[in-house]
Amino acid sequence: MTRTGHIAIPGFYDDVLPLEDWEREMWRKIPVNIDEEILKETGVPELFGEKGFSTMERIWARPTAEINGFGGGYQGQGTKTVIGREAMAKLTSVSSRTKTATRSSRWRRNICAKLPARGEARHGRWACRSLVSDRSAFEIW
């Protein structure tokens, strides 16, 4: 994420539709201070996110990219002093406001293009791996 709260994945916002004035007005009229409610409910010291959008707009209209979990290395009992050869991250991306249905394929291509040498990524029914050590080629299946 950038300092302005934008997701720093190339092309991430390419197909996202802009908010309409009527939508912004509708959310402004909701008689709840959502920022205050979230702060109170979660106990976090402050809210953050994409600049130029209210919390309501970020929740309901802007795309998201989340890291849901990490894992790697030896996971069994006992200690190990070796760095594991595998690591994994669980990722999700959600957007209901896109112009095209190409968003998920673009997300896959971006992930695959960023894999380390000989790296592999899997998600549901698709997976990809870099084929050469310089990451200049990858396959998606």
Per-residue pLDDT of 47-95, as tens digits, reads: 988 999 999 999 888 888 777 887 777 777 877 777 776 677 777 777 7
What are the helix (H) ranges across 1-141? 21-28, 34-42, 55-60, 103-113
**Is residue 31 over pLDDT 80?**
yes
* Residue 52 structural domain: 17-62
pTM: 0.64
**How many other C-beta atoms are found inside a 10 Å radius of the C-beta of residue 103?**
19
Query: Is position 53 within any domain?
Result: yes
Query: Is position 98 within any domain?
Result: no
Per-residue pLDDT, averaged over 30-59, amounts to 92
pLDDT tens, residue by residue, 2-16: 888 888 877 778 888
Query: Is position 30 within any domain?
Result: yes
Q: Give kind and range of the element (H or E) at residue 123.
A: strand 120-123
Query: Is position 33 within any domain?
Result: yes
pLDDT for 21 = 94
Q: Are 84 and 70 in contact (CB under 8 A)?
A: no
Lowest-pLDDT choice from 25-29, 48-52, 75-79, 110-114: 110-114
Query: Is position 106 within any domain?
Result: no
Domains of the chain: total: 1
